[in-house]
Amino acid sequence: MSASTALRLDRVRKDYGSTTAVQELNLEVAAGTLVALLGPSGCGKTTTLRMVAGFETPTSGRVLIGDQDVTPLPPNRRNLGMVFQNYSLFPHRTVAENIAFGLRMAGRSRAEQEVAVTRMLDLVRLEGRGDMYPRQLSGGQQQRVALARSLVLNPRVLLLDEPLGALDKALRESMQFEIRETQQRLGITTLLVTHDQEEAMTMSDQIAVMNGGRVLQLGAPTEIYDRPKTRFVAEFLGTSNIFTGRAESTGREIIADGMVITLPETVPVGSEVCLSIRPERVRIGPEADGLANRIQGHLSGAVFRGAYAAYHLDIGPDRRQLFAYQQSHGPHGTLRYGAGVDCWLGWATEDSVIVTVD
Ligand SMILES: Nc1ncnc2c1ncn2[C@@H]1O[C@H](COP(=O)(O)OP(=O)(O)OP(=O)(O)O)[C@@H](O)[C@H]1O
Ligand SMILES: [Mg+2]
């Protein structure tokens, strides 16, 4: 284990009867970083987090915090902070009392509690609201109190399970920046559970994409997005155009959807290849001229999405639909093309990525 690893899951597994929720999962979280567990519903994110917290006992494997094996320890002996989707504040206690709760339990003096509460209110930008009750606060403010309450004890690791899931989109986005900023300022090691890819991209140093109780890929957001290793990752994080086919003659091309596609690397002849191309890499109209991979398609849809325009293009004998995104240009993001016409589309070979099928 590297010296800077603050949290480590070592072949952690969880079975519920015949259901395996988490399979031999390995994960290392470097000190001071935020790692997101990102994946679809039921993939084992919460179960993983609960094993770190101590609410679930792994069927096998170990949880290490620093170099301490905490697997046998109950939650209250792990010194972790936790925030869940439903704020779970004490409704009949004031904001200050909620924040001070852990300190009071630990037998800290009243004066010490007051200093800490003021500091925490400041941290989460709720100065002067210590005497209010949770019901008098907005959802976002309540979640900041929950964050303050979990940070007041200087936990070794902060665990967040869909902390913003109950908030509306605009508030969620601003809270993502806010929590991330706080996390970085404090340098607190954090494990975040989310099924929201934008949230994971906004907040994380590293994303662990999960499916079926496994981590399929761990990497920085840009790495996961630009170099997905598997088809699942390519399609779960963002949108991908997928082509599949058998490698021909030189191992450098496949035939799919009635076109010859050049591969970005050589593969064994005859092997099944799956290729992912991001919609923003697909060029259309005259921009596709001269590209190695080019086909004529039918533009069946053009959708204005603010920062970009999304084009739907049907290609090949099966009229399979592809996506091409183009930045919006000109006044009010005028769509450059309208639906119902035929046009060329293509991509540069280096803009495609070979992925494995999982
Ligand atoms: N206490 C339990 N008893 C039996 N099965 C469970 C239990 N907790 C979780 N599971 C199962 O384990 C799997 C993983 O569940 P988990 O709650 O970890 O998923 P998740 O990734 O957090 O999903 P979501 O995004 O919906 O919260 C699911 O198939 C779930 O049904
Ligand atoms: Mg969950």
Tell me the per-residue pLDDT of 307-331, one tens digit each, with 9 for 90 and over. Answer: 888 999 999 999 999 999 988 766 5
What type of residue sits at position 253? E
DSSP SS3 for 321: strand
pLDDT for 234-259, tens place per residue?
999 999 999 999 998 889 999 999 99
Q: Identify the DSSP state of 27.
A: E
Pocket test for ligand 1, best of 38, 46, 55, 214 (most atoms within 8 A of CB): 46
How far is the C-alpha of 165 from the C-alpha of 25, rounded, in Å?
25
Beta bridge partners of 191: 35, 159
19 touches ligand 1 (CB under 6 Å): yes
CA of 161 to the centre of ligand 2 (A): 7
Closest listed residue to residue 230, CA positions, set 275, 198, 268? 275
Nearest atom in ligand 1 to the alpha carbon of residue 48 is 18
pTM higher than the cut 0.75: yes
- Give the architecture (CATH level 2) of 241-355: Beta Barrel (2.40)
Domain ranges in the chain with CATH number 2.40.50.100: 241-355
Q: Where in the chain is the domain with CATH 3.40.50.300?
A: 5-233
Q: Give me the pLDDT at residue 306, please.
A: 82
The secondary structure of 195-216 as a DSSP string is S-HHHHHHH-SEEEEEETTEEE
Residue 333 confidence (pLDDT) above 60: no
pLDDT at position 340? 86
222-227: long-range pairs with CB below 8 Å, 24+: 225/201, 225/278, 226/353, 227/353
Residue 162 Cα: closest atom of ligand 1: 27
Question: Domain 5-233's class?
Answer: alpha beta
Residue identifier of the C-alpha nearest atom 27 of ligand 1: 41
The pair of structure tokens assigned to 352 is 């495609």
How far apart CA 312 and CA 136 sit, in angstroms, is 47
Which residues keep their CB under 5 angstroms from ion ligand 2?
46
Write the pLDDT tens digit of every residue in 143-167: 899 999 999 999 999 999 998 888 8
